[in-house]
Structures are given as C-alpha cells and as structure tokens.
C-alpha cells in the first residue's frame, strides 16, 4: 500500500503509517510533524562519507585538467581565491551527480535510503537533483529561502536529504532552519545583492526569522526537510572546508517545469523567475533541467 503523501500546499500533514522503527522513531515523526524537518544521526558510515569527499575532489581535479567528467558540472566560486593550492578550493559545488556511475549514484539506490524517503513520498520515488556543496574558509552562506521557490513543481511536496560529509559546527557554515515554516506558502524573494553571492541566490525578506536555529551535526548525519521549509547557511569562519552532499527527491509523476515544458514553455518559466530575481533567472540555463532517476518502485528499491 502506498503511504499517505505529505501536503505542504494544504499546510497539513497526514499520518505516516508502517514506519520502520530501525529508521524512524516516534520522536523523529514528532519532529517532522511539528517542525518540518528531522535529523538522523549516524545514518551514513564514515567510509561512505570519506568516499564522497575523495570522489568530489577527484572530479574537481579532473575538470581542472580538462579530463572528461561525464554530465557532471563543476561550478566555481564567484570570487576565486588566488592563494588556492588545489582546484577544489575554488569550487562552490558539483551538480548532476546522482545519475553517474560512482558513490553518489550508488547511495540513492541503497535500500535504507529508498525506505526512508518512501515513508514520506510513497511507493514510487525518484531522485531529481544532487550536488556536493563546498563551504570553504571565508565563503559566504546562502540567505533564507525555500526550495519550492526554485522547484515550482506540482505537487509541491519534495524532500531534501542533506548529508554531512564533514562535521558541521556553529562556525563552519551550518544549515539553519525555521521550525514550523513547512506550513508556509511560497514567499516572494529579493535578489541576493551581497558582493560574492552566487547569481542564483535569493532571499526571503517578508518574514521574521528570529526563531531560526542552527543544526550542528556530526559526520554521517542526515537532515531531511520539506520543500517549503525556510532555511539558510552562514559563512564558514573556520580554517577547514565544510562539505555536504545534497539530494532532492520527489514522487514519480510529479510535474516538473524544468522537464515537462517545451522550449517556449521553458522560456516563459524563466521569465516568471526573472520577475523576482533577474540574476536567479540567468542561472536557469539548459543544464538547470532536472534529471529524474527512479530509486523506488512498488515499495522496492531499484
């Protein structure tokens, strides 16, 4: 039987049935219901985290040497560090990882991952986006935003899995969330005009954020949160990079404007984004289209 779906647009949650106690406790479910996010400590082993780190570094160095890296994309920092000793020190993120052969693709097909996401999205689940995020010493964080502003999907009930490849402290650019904001509609935004901000960054400015909290987690911990949850990251004040792998999941059959629009429709979609943030619209190029990869069908991992 398909598990009941979560409704963010209706601003309510249905009961989640048949939850495996080995993955989610009653406290996890209470956190999700109340706050819109939950933390799973030690969900990923150190071997996997270290393999992701090594793989991300290898991809950035291969790209710097003009070696093939498949359909994966390496995105440089907005302001480059002239004193960087290695290519990865000037990389902001690597995207489009979940469909390539390697640890990042292998991870989403693990039974425990499909089981976890399936408890919220049902028996048929896809992963549609992925990235490794580097927060190097001195790098800027991202302002308060909702992923739903970027996704614009129907239904708007996607889930993000934020994996701490390295430990996250209060000074190393932690993920901040606003508990309870999963019940908010999609808010208007303003462009992020900070010097050095990424072109795609936008900021929610019409909502109070004093209740926001940082989530400080150990390596291997996973944070799940819904597409309407307001969240941000702060700058990295330490001397070491903070590295995260981020996956986005949705129910099979979701209408995704980045995929299901023809060229004219896609151009119209980008124009709508440009009304609030021309710089963000400029970042929505052809490679911004999502790649939907099945990870679970009929409640079984693929």
- C-alpha torsion 215→23→148→152, nearest 10: 160
What pLDDT is attached to residue 200? Answer: 84
The burial of 87, by beta-carbon neighbours within 10 Å (0-12 exposed, 13-18 middle, 19 or more buried), is given as middle
- Taking the C-alpha atoms of residue 58 and residue 68, their distance in angstroms, rounded to an integer, is 11
Give the pLDDT confidence of 225-242 residue by residue, as tens digits.
Answer: 999 999 999 999 999 999
Lookup: tokens for 261: 């629009």
Burial of 244 from C-beta contacts in 10 A (0-12 / 13-18 / 19+) = buried
Provide the pLDDT confidence category of residue 284 given band limits of 50, 70 and 90. low
State the DSSP string of 115-177.
HHHHHHH-S-EEEEEEEEEEE-TT-----SB-HHHHH--BS---EEEEEESS---TTB--EEE
Q: What is the pLDDT of residues 247-272, one digit of tens each?
A: 999 999 999 988 887 888 878 878 88
The C-alpha atoms of residue 5 and residue 183 are separated, in whole angstroms, by: 15
Give the alpha-carbon dihedral of 276, 278, 282, 287, to 10 degrees.
0
How far apart CA 227 and CA 151 sit, in angstroms, is 8
Residue 88 pLDDT > 90: yes
Taking CA atoms, 56 is separated from 46, 110, 120, 171, in Å, by 15, 20, 29, 23
**pLDDT per position as a tens digit, 127-156:** 999 999 999 999 999 999 999 999 999 999
pLDDT surpasses 70 at 181: yes
0.85 exceeded by pTM: yes
Structural domains in the chain, sorted by start: 35-301 (2.60.120.620)
């Amino acid at each position: 039987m398909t598990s009941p779906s979560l409704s963010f647009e209706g601003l309510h949650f249905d009961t989640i049935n048949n939850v495996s106690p080995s993955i989610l406790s009653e406290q996890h479910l209470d956190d999700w219901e109340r706050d819109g996010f939950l933390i799973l400590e030690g969900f990923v082993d150190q071997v996997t985290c270290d393999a992701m780190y090594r793989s991300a570094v290898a991809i950035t160095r291969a790209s710097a040497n003009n070696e093939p890296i498949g359909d994966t994309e390496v995105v440089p920092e907005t302001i480059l560090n002239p004193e960087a000793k290695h290519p990865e020190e000037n990389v902001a993120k690597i995207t489009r990882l979940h469909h390539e052969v390697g640890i990042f693709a292998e991870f989403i097909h693990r039974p425990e991952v499909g089981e976890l996401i399936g408890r919220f999205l049902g028996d048929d689940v896809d992963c549609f986006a992925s990235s490794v995020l580097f927060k190097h010493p001195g790098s800027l964080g991202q302002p308060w935003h909702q992923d739903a502003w970027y996704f614009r999907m129907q239904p708007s009930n996607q889930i993000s899995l934020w994996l701490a490849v390295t430990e996250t402290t209060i000074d190393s650019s932690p993920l901040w969330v606003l508990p309870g904001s999963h019940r908010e509609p999609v808010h208007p935004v303003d462009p992020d005009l900070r010097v050095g901000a990424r072109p795609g960054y936008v900021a929610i400015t019409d909502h109070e954020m004093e209740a926001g909290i940082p989530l400080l987690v150990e390596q291997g911990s996973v944070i799940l949160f819904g597409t309407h949850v307001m969240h941000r990251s702060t700058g990295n004040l330490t001397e070491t990079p903070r590295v995260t792998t981020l996956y986005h999941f949705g129910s099979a059959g979701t209408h995704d404007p980045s995929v299901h629009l023809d060229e004219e429709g896609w151009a119209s979609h980008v124009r709508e984004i440009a009304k609030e943030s021309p710089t963000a619209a400029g970042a929505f190029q052809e490679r911004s289209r999502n790649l939907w990869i099945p990870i679970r069908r009929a409640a079984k991992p693929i």
